[in-house]
Amino acid sequence: MPSEPNNHVTLVLGGARSGKSKKAESLVMALPPPWIYVATAQAFDDEMRERLEAHKERRDDRWATVEEPLDLAQAVRDNCADDGALLVDCLTLWLSNVMLAGRSVEWESDALLAAIKEARGTLVIVSNEVGLGIVPDNKLAREFRDAQGLLNQRVAEIADNVILMAAGLPLTLK
């Protein structure tokens, strides 16, 4: 297992509707296909199903989709090959799935970081920047915000590139 990043990891951060998914897709599509999209979202209602469908409609048949709401480390290991590009969208929904499933955030995050470090192909990861708003009014929301902020920091540390999206505009942080 290499201790250094593989020089092909990009983290795309942003708030809701900042353009982060579209930017991440464009980074992957600048490379030759095939492309793999790892979707972490789960559709628990009609509105979320519509959102997921809109994301799918943006992608053509050059994309393969892997739906993985919980075992993201294994999905990265299984799908990030030397000759491919993998897009993970997004860490925020994955982390909320982990917490709601009662899994260990620390253990799951450690496993994911190890998988990212081992990744051989190009890996583009989308995550929400959750630290710019008000302090949440309940314990679970505060725990989530804190865990997401720490996860973003850990991924940014090993990523080669970090892009913050705001109003559809990219700001390169690293």
- Residues forming the active site: 55
Of the candidates 166, 100, 156, 167, the one whose C-alpha atom is nearest the C-alpha of residue 125 is 156
CB 98 within 8 A of CB 108: yes
Packing angle, helices 91-100 and 105-118, rounded to 10: 140
DSSP state letters, 85-114: EEEEE-HHHHHHHHHHTT--HHHHHHHHHH
Place of tokens 């990219």: 170
- Exposed e or buried b per residue across 55-76, where buried means at least 16 C-beta atoms within 10 angstroms of its C-beta: beeebeeebeebebbbbbbebb
Decide: residue 37, CB within 10 A, 0-12 exposed, 13-18 middle, 19+ buried: buried
Give percent helix, percent strand, percent coil of the chain, each to the nearest 5: 45, 20, 35
